[in-house]
Amino acid sequence: MKNSILIVDDIHPVFTERAEAMGYHCDYRPLITPGQALEIIGGYAGLVMRSKFKLNREYIDAGKNLRFVCRAGAGMDNIDEKYAIQKGITLINAPQGNADAVGEHAVGMLLSLMNNFNNADMQVRSGTWDREANRGYELKGKTVGIIGYGFMGHSFARKLSGFGVNVIAYDKYKTGFTDQYAREASMEEIVKYSDVLSLHIPLTAETMGLVNEEYLLHFKKPIFLINTSRGQAVKTSAVLKAIQQGRILGAGLDVLETEKFPALADQEWFDELRRSKKVILTPHIAGWTFESYRKISEVMAGKLEVLSLES
């Protein structure tokens, strides 16, 4: 099936419409199980996926006719990229599609943390009117440190541009990226000057557990922490300890080391996490809006069109 694409996750129909206009046949099977996908993947030239399974060597070897894989999102950590490329498979992702969603979500989390929105709301609903306990912080004049200045980090910096903040950014894999929204900085500057730390990094061997107890000890000021990237980049127990010690003033966590129930509830740190009034939790939805749902598919279709023209 030279021009057939297997779609194993829910995506916006704009992708199938545009792919079929290019001459592809789309087999849309969002309810397929990983085992079923493994059995039939060999008959397809393309695969579209989100997070249903890890595209490891077993799947790649089974997909003997695969020419491309589209990841409906930004992160590629559930794909064995090196092996796929070695097998001649082109990898397509769509960070442009949900960058605005992630940037807005991060700003929303930060404002909520700094102004005690969640706690104040719960208190008023329960009959308590306590202004002093809910006194907030202003963003203006603060230094926001961003780690990872790709589409997501840049989007967050751009959203902050009207708040009168100083934005500095560190990216191990890029240089010369200073722009009107952020100044390129060293990690030493990040830990020395940041009032806010926001992570926008992929999950790699280097970023796994990046934010741990030792790392947090280097910060010179108490910080607000935002993580909308990957949960395994942050050691939750280290964040909770830093909150107890006053080194983290509040944490907005859209992603966690372990996600979904019942596995999440079994983590030894979860009870303390859910009880903390200095933590805001969301279920990995920073990049998942009604608008990004469509934009991700549009980006993938656009990249597939370029690939098809080059082939």
Annotated active-site residue 275? The verdict is no
Domains and CATH numbers, the chain: 4-95+291-310 (3.40.50.720), 138-277 (3.40.50.720)
Per-residue pLDDT band for 255 (boundaries 50, 70, 90) equals very high
Annotated active-site residue 71? The verdict is no
pLDDT of the residue at 310: 76
Please say if the pLDDT value at position 254 is more than 70: yes
Residue among 12, 7, 36 nearest 296 (CA): 12
pLDDT of the residue at 311: 65
pLDDT of the residue at 273: 98
DSSP state of 277: T
In this structure, how many other beta carbons lie within 10 angstroms of the beta carbon of residue 280?
A: 20
Please say if the pLDDT value at position 279 is more than 70: yes
Q: What is the mean pLDDT of residues 129-140?
A: 97
Q: Which of 17, 39, 259, 291 is catalytic?
A: 259
Residue 94: Cβ-neighbour burial (10 angstroms; 0-12, 13-18, 19+): buried
Query: For residues 53 and 77, is the Cβ–Cβ distance under 8 A?
Result: no
Per-residue pLDDT band for 201 (boundaries 50, 70, 90) equals very high
Tell me what the pLDDT averaged over the chain comes to: 96
Please say if the pLDDT value at position 197 is more than 90: yes
Q: CA geometry: angle at 122 spanning 132 and 195, to 5°? A: 55
pLDDT of the residue at 1: 60
Spatial separation of the C-alpha atoms in residues 94 and 151, rounded to whole Å = 10
Spatial separation of the C-alpha atoms in residues 277 and 119, rounded to whole Å = 7
> Which runs of E-coded beta strand occur in the chain?
4-7, 25-28, 46-49, 68-71, 90-92, 143-147, 166-170, 183-184, 196-199, 223-227, 248-253, 279-281
Spatial separation of the C-alpha atoms in residues 222 and 231, rounded to whole Å = 21
Tell me which of 62 and 308 has the higher pLDDT.
62
In this structure, how many other beta carbons lie within 10 angstroms of the beta carbon of residue 103?
A: 25
Q: CA geometry: angle at 270 spanning 266 and 272, to 5°? A: 140
Please say if the pLDDT value at position 2 is more than 90: no
- Chain-centroid distance, C-alpha 236: 16
Helices (H), 139-266: 151-159, 187-193, 213-217, 236-244
Packing angle between helix 290-310 and helix 95-114, nearest 10 degrees?
A: 150
pLDDT of the residue at 257: 96
Structure tokens at 129: 């009117």
Q: Which of 247, 284, 294, 305 is catalytic?
A: 284
Per-residue pLDDT band for 308 (boundaries 50, 70, 90) equals confident
Q: Which of 71, 105, 230, 257 is catalytic?
A: 230
Spatial separation of the C-alpha atoms in residues 261 and 51, rounded to whole Å = 16
Start-to-end CA distance of the chain, whole Å, equals: 17
